[in-house]
Structure 1
Amino acid sequence: MFTIRTLNNIAPIGLHKLPDKHFKIDNNAENPDGIILRSFDMHNMELNDRLMAVARAGAGTNNVPVERCSQRGIPVFNAPGGNANAVKELVLTGLLISSRRIVDGSQWVQSIANSETLEKDIESGKKNFIGPEVLGKTLGVIGLGAIGVLVANAALDLGMDVIGYDPFLSLESAWHLSPSVEKADSMEEVVAKSDYITIHIPLNAKTKNTFNDDLFGKTKKGARLLNFARGGLVDNTALLSAMEQGIISRYITDFPEKELLGHENIIVTPHLGASTPESEENCAIMVAEELRDYLYFGNIKNSVNFPNCTVPYNGKPRITVSHRNIVNMIGQLGAVFTKYSINIDKLVNNSKCELAYNIIVCDNLPENEAELIQDLYAINSVIKVRLLK
């Protein structure tokens, strides 16, 4: 029986993927085997000794202490693409309201609700809310992952020219990206050509403040900037300066920060990107299935810190070993299995940056299983060992 703790409200359709026969959902468990969360900040949480996996029902994992989890051999799962359509639709909404001054116009109409000459006032005042069409304009898409590809393709359907940049474009994204999207060699090329710019890259130490004074200095004058990825990707001080200079005419973001509020040409939404019932259900289902497959069989898919590594279950026992990615580990592991006369049916070893993960399917196990596990832990660089029968 695995105990799973939820740190946020998780869609029931996802939790139903964890059957009662093998899983207990306990929102107050002090020593859970697994954790499922959405936006809860885990950075100040203690990671209990039994914890084997963390599953974030969304794409970003900034609220999870990924490095601490890695040090303890705990995979952190996420749901890439689970909320992609929801964010895509919000980006398209942002694209249109950045042009047509819909929000401003709506607020103005409400402000004159008590006018005795309402119809006349509206007809005379609507000229203050003129905005351009997006048809024929150029949209620059920085980051062509699951969301960026959907946005790029949808913008083509709106009649826009689209230019995209992603130095790490995956094969899967390339398959789904329309050939009509122009491929740029740099972000500088994108911002110099684009009337509208939308950001779809992760936030990390390398991407923080991607939009800074230098990049704004290369941006086409009057561009509209959309940020539905992460707030820290844009240097707010540099942004406000670029707006004063007329480089950025409007900024639409889903990440409220105090210095962005109260500006006429900045529209801020309250982090609504994945706030649809469909998105929450999709993400909950994905991470519950990932968590279940890992706890049952040791399979890893969609982990941000460990490599994908899956072996179909064939009824035989398996041992999983996570370790630091150094040379001669397979030889050292093999020596232990030889010592206990274990015949290996299948061994899969995959690595991701500094970590590696093995699934070893065994034809037999020794009587002294505890000693086997102890010997595996005695290998330098081994982080976590699990025996699954």
Structure 2
Amino acid sequence: MSSILMEKRRTIKTLNNIADSGLDVFSGDYHLDDNSENPDAIVVRSFNMHSMEFGNNLKAIARAGAGVNNIPVDKCTEKGIVVFNTPGANANAVKELVLSSLMASSRNLFDGVAWTKTLGNEGDQVSGLVEAGKKQFVGNEIAGKTLGVIGLGSIGALVANDALALGMDVIGFDPFISVDTAWNLSSHVQRAETMEQLFAKSDFITVHVPYTDGTAGMFNEETFNLMKPGVHLLNFSRGELVNEKDMNMALDTGKVGKYITDFPNEKVLKMKNVITIPHLGASTKESEVNCAKMAARQVKEFLETGNIRNSVNFPNTYLPYLGRSRVAAFHKNVPNMVGQISSVISTSDLNIADMVNRSRGDYAYTMVDIENHVEDEIIPELKKRMEQIDGMVTTRII
């Protein structure tokens, strides 16, 4: 079987239940095999992959969701395996839960519902008990209050825009806001120059940033002291963003009025004035379908064209695919790599029609379109010479 035919026969493995509408993207020459030990790509949701061994044929892993903490990203990078996620695919689901929780917590809805359920055996007395007891759950309206949004990515921007529509004043902080997000963000969202400025003005604060060494424990005693007394903090990003010891103290003193989190654990469950949600942020049927489709399409495009969209470890790279033979090389970001790649191609009696090079940290990705078709018998030698370049990680001939 020729090298090109081997390249076209691709195996996809899933490690969780992935929506069928997403897997339907892999039609034609694709084979779905959940038992494969050496697939071309893996589509995953929450399965912990850190102890897995990866076959030499694995080219891509797609997380049908935003977080990739269940994937050994550094290990994948060293092996030249692209790790994708699906930013924005679950944004509407998370946004709806954030706003629902914001309103429900402000109106003491969760406590009120729980209390009402205790009246199940009171018979005809229920109506009277409800009228007498409802005053303990008097809450506040959110209209006219200030919502601080930390992180104005896909989710944060949606939350900010819709909170404005609900009559709130909104202040946002994101020093790394993208151009695309800026275009989609309402001009009525106030810009905070610092988080301290946001803390001082906000009645409610919602956080939408990734968990990194720089954001771990970003909500702590020091930051709580900068906030308005009785502030409500909503965390639908990661539990580790909050120093739980400091949060417990802030709740006890009333410095933080309520903590709404999608990441309950034993410590958090024992705190007062905490609303714990069982990690439902992206748990909608629509979100699962959107994430599955997006993950599958990104994998398919990469396998068939080499183009990369929404990778967490490779640079996003696009070169229009016109059906020519294409060299896709992942390599160290060091001088003269492009020159050496071009030299190997030219000394193989091949002409370069187009090319693109993008870097990300210590690594870079180069795609080269060949003007004249690369014959099957040339491919093994061309690939071998490419991989002999010092600093080359992986090479594909598409």
TM over 0.5: yes
> Could you tell me which residue of structure 1 aligns to residue 33 of structure 2?
26
Match for residue 63 of structure 1 among 56, 61, 70: 70
Deviation readout 1:272-298 (Å, 9 max, x if unpaired)? 011111101111111100000111111
2:392 maps to 1:377: no
Deviation of 1:27 after TM superposition, in Å, equals 1.3
Q: Match for 1:252 among 248, 260, 267?
A: 260
CA positional deviation for 1:262: 3.4
Cα distance in structure 1, aligned partners of 2:82 and 2:212: 19
| 1:176 pairs with 2:184 | yes
SS at match of 2:380: helix
Corresponding letter in the other structure for 2:389:
I
TM-score between the two structures when normalised by the length of structure 2: 0.95
Equivalence for 2:251:
243
SS in 1 for 2:366: strand
Shift of 1:309: 1.1
1:82 & 1:24 partners in 2: Cα distance?
Answer: 25
Q: Which runs of 5+ in 1 are unaligned?
A: none
Question: Deviations for 1:320-341, whole angstroms, at most 9, x for unmatched residues?
Answer: 0001112221111112112212
Unaligned runs of 5+ residues in structure 2 are: 1-8
CA contact (8 A) 1:98 1:251 kept: no
8 Å Cα contact 1:5/1:34 also seen in 2: yes
Please state whether the residue corresponding to 2:133 is helix, strand or coil: helix
Superposition pairs of residues 119-158 of structure 1, within 5 angstroms: 119-158=127-166
The CA deviation at 1:29 is 1.2
Alpha-carbon distance in structure 1 between the residues aligned to 2:190 and 2:326: 47
Q: Distance in 2 between matches of 1:128 and 1:257?
A: 28
- The residue number in structure 2 matching 1:221 is 229
| Aligned position for 2:4 | none
Counting only pairs closer than 5 Å after superposition, residues 256-267 of structure 1 correspond to structure 2 as 256-267=264-275
Q: Distance between the aligned counterparts of 2:172 and 2:246, measured in 1?
A: 23
For these two proteins, the number of residue pairs brought into alignment is: 387
71, 80, 85: which one pairs with 2:87? 80
- Is the CA contact (8 Å cut-off) linking 1:32 and 1:48 kept in structure 2? yes
* Distance in 1 of aligned mates of 2:162 and 2:323: 45
How large is the RMSD of aligned CA atoms in angstroms?
Answer: 1.1
Aligned to 2:364: 356
Which residue of the partner structure matches residue 104 of structure 1?
A: 111
- Residue number in structure 1 paired with 2:307: 299
CA shift, 1:316, in A, is 1.1
Correspondence for 1:114: 121
Equivalent residues in 2 for 1:304-315 (5 A)?
Answer: 304-315=312-323
Q: Offset of 1:245 from its aligned partner? A: 2.2
- Mapped partners of 2:289, 2:333: distance in 1: 35
